Amino acid sequence: MRAKGYFGGFGGFYVPEVLVASLKELERDYQQISQTAEFEAELQSLLRDYAGRPTPLYYARSLSDRAGGARIFLKREDLAHTGSHKINNAIGQALLAKRMGRSRVICETGAGQHGVATATACALLDLECEVYMGETDVERQKLNCYRMNLLGAKINVVKSGSRTLKDSINEAMRDYAATSEDTHYLLGSVVGPHPYPTIVREFQSVIGTETKEQMARETGGLPDALVACVGGGSNSIGLFHPFIDDEHVQMFGAEAAGDGIETGKHCASVVVGEEGVLHGSRTLILQDDDGQVSDTSSVAAGLDYPAVGPEHAHLSASKRAKYFGVTDQEAVLAFHLLSEAEGIIPALESAHAVHLAAKIAREFSKDQSIVVCLSGRGDKDVAQIAKLEGRL
């Protein structure tokens, strides 16, 4: 008997027995609930009236001119409520939790963006919310912690392991194993055991579905390439997935190469990771010779994760998508470039995608087009960059 939730040879369901019953129930309830017209209608109305969808598709003329090649379009997830794509999944799953009869929601967060999105959706839907966040991240993301508190969420500071995102996922799973009767675990990316990579992808696919319609209207056709940053991989899968069968649309993922792949201080798990099992999923992982998971590093806290969603591992193995490392330095340059060229301050995570797009644009002609997922806005990162550059 083969478990469900495989993408090629990746994915699956590698969890302790105590989690099996809850995850099977989640799978069943998701399938039933998400297909009802009622759920769909409520989700669509919240995405439109509350989250501000559809987000614009913007032709970045000045960025395109500077890059010198293809026309670059930005899918403006930074303009969604709470400032990133994370809200798409948070609203979808919170609505699901509500209909599953859960009164409490838990989640993990690294940078705090998913924590803020979840706290927001819980405030909206009157759900109790607890956020697991590593001690290291709490220190570097004080403002987002305050935002979560304002929204009524409780932050549980995680002091185990490396005290970052991966440990927060461990801690949230431990909580869920003991509390799933009244609690939903609202996982923030396309990682973890089945059914999460599928559920999160479905809620994020709105990005690509809208893009397809908008491009048809704008250019009368499909884009030639898609570019997105890849942490766990949710904004990228959200953009890519509706185009998977459009063979001529190329796909590029920007992973965080930190100080440079050769230094070992990065989190480019597709580029250099190796197959293994982490957080319930068979995927590509940064690990040592024994199989212990590596500590990672990136200027963008939201990309700082030692593995990647299993569907990306599959897209890479099957060569449907290509993945490249973008260093901290390149991302910071792109952060400035977009701010100056377009008057848009991108999240540092998204700046990785901007760099990669500007670089590959040169390999395309002026009548071709590239869509970049601008996954979030950079307000949260301004203080960090000012400090890095000695201006604060």
Partner 1 sequence: MSRIAATFERLAESEEGAYIPYVCCGDRGVEFTGELMRRLSRAGADVIELGLPFSDPLADGPTIQAAMVRSLSSGFKVATLFDLISRARSDGMDTPIVVMTYYNLIIRMGLDIFCKRLAEAGADGILPVDLPMEESADLERIAGAHELDVIRLVSPTTNDERMAQILQSARGFVYAVAISGVTGQRDSLPHSAIAMLKRLRDKSDLPIAIGFGISNQEQVRQAIAAGASGVVEGSALIDIYARGLSEGEDGALDLVEKHAREMKDSARAAVASREKRS
Q: Which residues of the chain form contacts with partner 1 (CB under 8 A)?
A: 1-3, 12-18, 20-22, 160-161, 166-167, 169-170, 173-174, 177-178, 180, 275-280, 285, 287, 289-293
CA distance 48 to 62: 29
In order of 30, 106, 346, the CA distances from 367 in angstroms are 42, 47, 26
- In the set 22, 77, 86, 359, the catalytic residue is 86
- In the set 64, 255, 375, 380, the catalytic residue is 375
> Per-residue contact track with ligand PLP, 15 to 54, x per CB under 6 A?
----------------------------------------
**Phi/psi zone of residue 260: left (φ > 0), alpha (ψ -120 to 50 degrees), beta?**
left
If one asks whether residue 175 binds ligand PLP (CB under 6 A), the answer comes out as: no
Four-residue CA torsion sign, 103, 109, 115, 121: negative
Query: Hey, which residues between 197 and 216 contact ligand PLP (CB under 6 A)?
Result: none
Non-local CB neighbours of 120 within 8 Å, separated by 6+ positions: 81, 82, 87, 90, 151
Per the annotation, the verdict on 375 as an active-site residue is yes
Whichever of 183 and 236 has its CB closer to ligand PLP, that residue is 236
Q: In the complex, what is the shortest distance from the CB of residue 41 to ligand PLP, in angstroms, rounded to a whole number?
A: 26
If one asks whether residue 84 binds ligand PLP (CB under 6 A), the answer comes out as: yes
Which of 18-26, 219-227, 329-337, 347-355 is the region at the interface with ligand PLP (rule: CB under 6 A)? 347-355
Among 82, 136, 235, 294, binds ligand PLP (CB under 6 A): 235
When computed from its CA atoms, the radius of gyration of the chain, rounded to whole angstroms, is 19
Q: Are 333 and 314 in contact (CB under 8 A)?
A: no
**Partner touching 292 among ligand PLP, partner 1, none, CB below 5 to 8 Å by kind:** partner 1
Non-local CB neighbours of 219 within 8 Å, separated by 6+ positions: 369
Among 197, 273, 280, 376, binds ligand PLP (CB under 6 A): 376
CA distance 68 to 281: 40
Quickly count: other Cβ atoms within 10 Å of residue 17's Cβ: 7
Q: Are 105 and 241 in contact (CB under 8 A)?
A: no
Catalytic residues: 86, 108, 375
Q: Which residues bind ligand PLP (CB under 6 A)?
A: 84, 110-111, 113-114, 189, 229-236, 302-303, 347, 349-350, 375-376
